[in-house]
Amino acid sequence: MKAKMRATTTAMAGALALVATLAPGIRGADPVTVTKMTSPARALQFEVIVPGSLDAVWDAFTTADGLASWLWRDVRVDAKPGGDWLAIFPQSTGGGTILSLTPKRQIVIAALAPDRFPVVRETRTQATFDFSPVSPSSTKVTLVQTGWKSGGEWDAAYDYLAGGNAELLTQLFQRFASGPIAWPRPR
């Protein structure tokens, strides 16, 4: 029997609360479902139904204007294998390098962990975003993050990104539910 731990993560912009449960498929009022998998290999899986068309959600991931509408104001996107998919925050850079891209279906990124996890950041994990239309005006986005290794830093990064990536996808959801995020201008 596969050992699988399921967790539903409730993410709100600015605050995260982790609610662990053994029941699969439970989803609260918040949009992102997180599953922590331990077997056959450790992985994080996130699902969200975004209230936007496949074309609009794809553009939000693959264009600088689209990414800046929900991830951060300073972004770099070169939507091709080997291209950047980056958010340049004041204290760090997040995102990674695009490994592969299938238009309107999938983006695979060699993901940068936050600076506080230098070994994980240098080694990188793989983040696979899959996109599928649910209706003409909604799209399911599934993120599966793999490539996790053993050790204290890896364990801490895994737990941190279970919440951080849920927050990331909550921002994507909010961008389509409420409109583009008005980021503060740099001083």
- CA dist 3 and 83 (Å) reads 36
**Superfamily (CATH H level) for 4-178:** START domain (3.30.530.20)
Supply the pLDDT for residue 29: 55
* CA 34 centroid distance within chain: 10
Compute φ and ψ for 107, nearest 5 degrees: -130, 130
Supply the pLDDT for residue 163: 95
- Averaged pLDDT, groups of 10, the chain, 187 residues long: 28 24 39 93 97 98 97 96 96 95 98 96 98 98 97 96 95 96 85
Contact assessment for residue 104 and residue 55, using Cβ atoms and an 8 Å cutoff: yes
Give 164's DSSP letter. Answer: H
Structure tokens at 22: 């053994």
Supply the pLDDT for residue 85: 97
DSSP string, 28-67: -SSS-EEEEE-SSS-EEEEEEEESS-HHHHHHHHHSHHHH
